[in-house]
Amino acid sequence: MSSSSTSRALEHPLSADTRFDRRLGEILDYATEIFADKGYEGASMRDLSRLSGISLAGLYYYFESKEKLLYFIQQHTFNTIIERLREQLAEGDDPETRIRIFVHNHVGYSVAKQKAMKVLAHEDDVLKNGYGTELAAIKREYYRICVGLVEDLAKAEGLKFVGRNASATGGISTRTAVMGLFGMMNWLYTWYNPRVDPGAETIAREMSDIFLRGVRAERAGDWKPRREPNLSRGSETGGGPKAKGPKRKPAPSLATSRTRS
């Protein structure tokens, strides 16, 4: 089967009702589980065959390579989140409400699809060439949506210390604010436990509150432009060079890699 026919079948997976499309969705679910548990490099098509009960020949009928599987998992996840977001944003025009919608949509998906989010984070830089370029473009779109929402809030509420170049005068740059929000949301899959943590709606409200209170911290009117302190010299900070610790790979999940404001 050609890759173009597979692409067409995945364009609207939630509305598909044929045996072919259902099997396609099942393979993606099984592949997500395999990649989450073993990692992309450690997983094989044979592992997927054993878990799914589908022969290798059957798997290759749908996808010609493991790389293509990873590509479709990421593409489908990103597109699903963005499509759901656009539908919900169309129902609200208040800047704060729209930011809360953004957070709730992201958190809700993360809680429901923790293994998919793990795959996005851990296999973020695996895909190259055309696959990687396409996914990077989707991430930039998602990032820009969030930037627009934050800028709308700053404009509506007169948050002069939040803006693209605000860090130059001691404020908060829009990019830093947005990346901080993504950092908070993207780590959810590493710690969320439904047995001890509240549901997605509560987590989303709490994260929204943390973010909104942060960017509104100086809204009272006592904020003044100020120079940033020079922390580049150890003598001025009271300490020498930091000891090097073990390197840890970050989790650059949705929209946190290869994005520029």
Q: pLDDT tens digit string along 175-198?
A: 999 999 999 999 898 899 999 999
The answer on pLDDT for 257 being more than 70 is no
- 53 shares its domain with 95: no
Burial class (CB in 10 A: 0-12, 13-18, 19+), 31: buried
* 233 falls within a domain: no
Residue finishing a domain among 14, 33, 64: 64
The residue written with tokens 């993360």 in the block is: 110
The answer on pLDDT for 66 being more than 60 is yes
- 38 shares its domain with 54: yes
- 187 shares its domain with 260: yes
Residue finishing a domain among 64, 82, 108: 64
C-alpha closest to that of 30 among 5, 1, 2, 58: 58
- 57 shares its domain with 75: no
Helices of type H across the chain = 3-10, 19-38, 45-52, 56-62, 66-89, 95-112, 114-122, 129-157, 174-186, 188-191, 200-215, 234-237
- 136 shares its domain with 158: yes
The answer on pLDDT for 7 being more than 50 is no
The CATH code of the domain that includes 21 is 1.10.10.60
C-alpha closest to that of 24 among 32, 34, 40, 13: 13
- 82 shares its domain with 203: yes
- 115 shares its domain with 4: no
* 232 falls within a domain: no
Q: What is the pLDDT of residue 148?
A: 96
| Confidence band for 118, pLDDT divided at 50, 70 and 90 | confident
What percentage of the chain exceeds 90 in pLDDT? 45
The residue written with tokens 């992309």 in the block is: 40
Q: What domain range is 56 assigned to?
A: 1-64
* 160 falls within a domain: yes
DSSP class of 222: T
Q: What is the pTM of this model?
A: 0.76
The answer for residues whose C-beta is within 8 angstroms of residue 142's C-beta and 6 or more apart is 78, 81, 82, 254, 255
CB 146 within 8 A of CB 102: yes
- 147 shares its domain with 212: yes
CB 123 within 8 A of CB 115: no
| Confidence band for 254, pLDDT divided at 50, 70 and 90 | low
- 57 shares its domain with 159: no
The CATH code of the domain that includes 162 is 1.10.357.10
The answer on pLDDT for 243 being more than 70 is no
CB 258 within 8 A of CB 140: yes
* 116 falls within a domain: yes
CB atoms within 10 A of CB 61: 15
- 205 shares its domain with 261: yes
